[in-house]
């Protein structure tokens, strides 16, 4: 498959009348979508460092074909967009392993360390666990932060990617973290930042009370931008010298040309969470295995269609189905 550079035909995105525009496409699904009811089976994966990840499974008829789904910033497997994608993949014959990043499953993780955009060792542990359970065809799907983590892991693996991994899809991915952080400091986008920082600051406060050597939670509470929060909390507890060092070393964009399995990246041009550097057209042109779709509208993890369905789910299912068909 690695030598097969044909790209599947994928449908165009058509929003409902009056629901074009990045903010509407971002907010309407976030606020109003309930998502399908999904009966997950939870499994706890203990990690070598003493921490854990909670995996939520949909067991299909074919246990050898597994889609691994990663959520976004301050999300979980219970978010409507994750349940929607999981249900769509399950309906297409996949078993699904939707994984909660550290501290996102409803229970604080055991270590000072948290989740972050460059925590590719956690995805590596999930993939290897899924492989050990008998999966021979693994598709990866990542949203936003989880998408950056997924694409960066693929780039790190390069030609040495486990042969079970057949392809991947990233949706609304800030592949350049510095560019996304700068974009979020402007205009109405600061409303989103405040929403996330309230949650992130609460976790930083919990960490400060539970672990010796944790950064001062007051600095996290005082942060008004992602850069300030990452400089005071994310970077120091994860071994980065600063927010800028974290962004440079955790971003997926520098490694996109090294991805060695068919991969689809879907970033709407009006995504309020992304900056201009998050549309890696040069890397897509240089890597025949990377397909970049940039619809005019769609927002951030939005893509609500006229028929009430979600285009990102349709596109991800079709892309991964085409990957399997060509193997």
- Catalytic positions are 144, 271, 300
Q: Tell the burial category of 59 from Cβ atoms under 10 Å away from its Cβ (0-12, 13-18, 19+).
A: middle
90 token code pair: 């399950």
Q: In Å, how far from its chain's centre is CA 233?
A: 21
Q: Which residues neighbour 186 within 8 Å (Cβ) at sequence distance 6 or greater? A: none
CB 267 within 8 A of CB 292: yes
- CA-nearest of 210, 206, 183 to 272 is 183
The C-alpha angle 30, 117, 235, rounded to 5 degrees, equals: 120
CA distance 267 to 298: 8
CA distance 283 to 96: 29
**58, HSE (Cβ side, Cα atoms, 13 Å):** 28
CA distance 111 to 93: 36
Bridge partner residues of 67 (DSSP): 96, 139
Maximum Cα–Cα distance for the chain, whole Å? Answer: 54
Distance, first Cα to last Cα, the chain: 5
Bridge partner residues of 263 (DSSP): 168, 290
- CA distance to 52, 188, 245, per residue, from 228 (Å): 28, 18, 13
- Match 């050597």 to its residue by tokens: 213
CA distance 165 to 154: 9
């Amino acid at each position: 498959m690695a030598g097969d550079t044909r790209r599947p035909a994928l449908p165009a995105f058509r929003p409902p009348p009056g629901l074009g525009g990045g903010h509407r496409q971002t907010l309407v699904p976030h606020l109003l979508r309930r998502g399908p009811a999904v009966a997950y089976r939870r499994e706890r994966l203990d990690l070598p460092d003493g921490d854990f990840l909670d995996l939520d499974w949909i067991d299909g008829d074919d246990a050898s074909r597994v889609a691994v789904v990663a959520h976004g910033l301050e999300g979980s497997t219970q978010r409507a967009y994750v349940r929607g994608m999981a249900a769509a993949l399950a309906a297409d014959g996949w078993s699904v392993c939707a994984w909660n990043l550290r501290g996102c499953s409803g229970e604080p993780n055991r270590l000072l360390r948290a989740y972050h955009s460059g925590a590719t060792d956690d995805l590596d542990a999930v993939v290897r666990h899924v492989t050990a359970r008998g999966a021979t065809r693994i598709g990866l799907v990542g949203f936003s932060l989880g998408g950056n983590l997924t694409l960066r892991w693929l780039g790190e693996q390069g030609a040495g990617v486990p042969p079970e991994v057949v392809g991947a899809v990233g949706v609304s991915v800030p592949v350049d973290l510095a560019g996304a952080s700068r974009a979020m400091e402007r205009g109405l986008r600061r409303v989103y930042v405040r929403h996330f920082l309230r949650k992130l600051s609460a976790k930083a406060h919990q960490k400060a009370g539970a672990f010796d050597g944790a950064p001062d939670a007051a600095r996290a509470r005082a942060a008004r931008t992602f850069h300030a929060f990452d400089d005071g909390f994310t970077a120091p507890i994860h071994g980065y010298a600063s927010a800028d060092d974290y962004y440079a070393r955790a971003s997926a964009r520098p490694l996109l040309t090294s991805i060695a399995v068919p991969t689809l990246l879907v970033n709407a041009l009006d995504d309020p969470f992304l900056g201009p550097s998050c549309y890696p057209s040069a890397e897509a042109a240089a890597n025949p295995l990377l397909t970049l779709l940039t619809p005019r509208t769609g927002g951030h993890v939005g893509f609500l269609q006229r028929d009430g369905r979600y285009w990102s789910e349709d596109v991800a299912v079709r892309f991964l189905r085409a990957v399997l068909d060509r193997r």
